[in-house]
Structure 1
Amino acid sequence: MFLNYRQSSPFWGKTSAIPVTNAKTAVKPPPPKSNQKGRFLMNNAELAEKIAADHGVTKADARKLVDGVFAAIADAAAAGEEISINGFGKFKVKATPEREGRNPGTGATITIKASKKLGFTPAKAVKDKLNG
């Protein structure tokens, strides 16, 4: 039996027939390391691997370091502080005031509560690196 999988993956082309006995045992290509828009994504584990390889530390120690840095940034942001990392950028908490909105289903007026958002402004060095 052949099942057709319609995919726009560079692994299989537009359409491919994969021999399988049933849909649960189908051989599928490995997922690409990008999101649907084709952009590369790096997660905490991959960042820790890169740090470990570049600086000669173990992956476990690098993972603890990465997690510690992000925890420190999150704690400072929760306290309302601005976090400035020289050569990288600034993280700043922005307050969004309470406002009125509409329920799209019923059209009724609702109140959207105030919230805080974490904004990031890249440093000039990062902007220059991104733009060539």
Structure 2
Amino acid sequence: MNKKDFTARVAEKSGLSQADADAALKAMIDTIVEVGSAEDKINLPGLGTFEGKMRDERQARNPSTGEAITVPAKKVLKFKASTALSL
């Protein structure tokens, strides 16, 4: 399922227009990224928890050359699914 199919299904179930459902999805994603970049936690019952974390700098290897490289520290958004999502 792609974004267009997803927003069409959300629009159908919610009674929103497809443009409104697309705008709502975009706003939700933007908000999750914004809050996650501040390293806060977002708990959405029934869906899961999004949390911004700082990943430390680490050493890795280039798989094609075997050369050691340094992967810089960066912020990442982690997601832990709710148990309600078990299929």
TM-score bracket for this pair, using the shorter chain length: 0.7 to 0.9
1:113 to 45, 48, 72: 72
1:19-34, aligned counterparts within 5 Å? none
Contact 1:44 1:66 in 2 (8 A): no
- 2:85 is aligned with what amino acid? V
- 2:38·2:52 contact (CA, 8 Å) conserved in 1? no
The answer for the alignment partner of 1:79 in structure 2 is 38
Q: Give aligned-pair identity as a percent.
A: 33
For residues 11 and 62 of structure 2, the distance between their equivalents in structure 1, rounded to whole angstroms, comes to 49
Q: CA–CA distance in 2 between the matches of 1:55 and 1:106?
A: 52
Aligned partner of 1:109: which letter?
A
Please state if 1:123 is matched with 2:82. Answer: yes
What is the DSSP-based 3-state SS (H/G/I as helix, E as strand, rest coil) of the residue aligned with 2:32? helix
Structure 1 CA distance, aligned partners of 2:24 and 2:84?
23
Q: CA deviation at 1:58?
A: 1.1
Structure 1 runs not aligned, ≥5 long: 1-41
Residues 49 and 81 in structure 2, CA contact (< 8 A), matched pair in contact too:
yes
Q: Structure 1 residues 65 and 106, CA, compared in 2 at 3 Å: closer, same or farther?
A: closer
Segments of structure 2 that go 5 or more residues without pairing to the other structure are none
Alpha-carbon distance, 1:52 to partner: 1.2
Higher share of residues assigned helix: 2
Following TM superposition, by how much is the alpha carbon of 1:110 offset from its aligned partner in structure 2, in angstroms? 2.5
- What RMSD in Å do the two structures reach over aligned CA positions? 1.7
| Residues 1:62 and 2:21 aligned together | yes
Highest RCO, 1 vs 2 (Cα 8 Å, sep ≥ 6) = 2
- In 2, Cα distance between equivalents of 1:58 and 1:51: 9
How much does 1:83 deviate? Answer: 1.1
In the alignment, the residues of structure 2 paired with residue 104 and residue 52 of structure 1 have an alpha-carbon distance, to the nearest angstrom, of: 45
Q: How many residues align?
A: 87
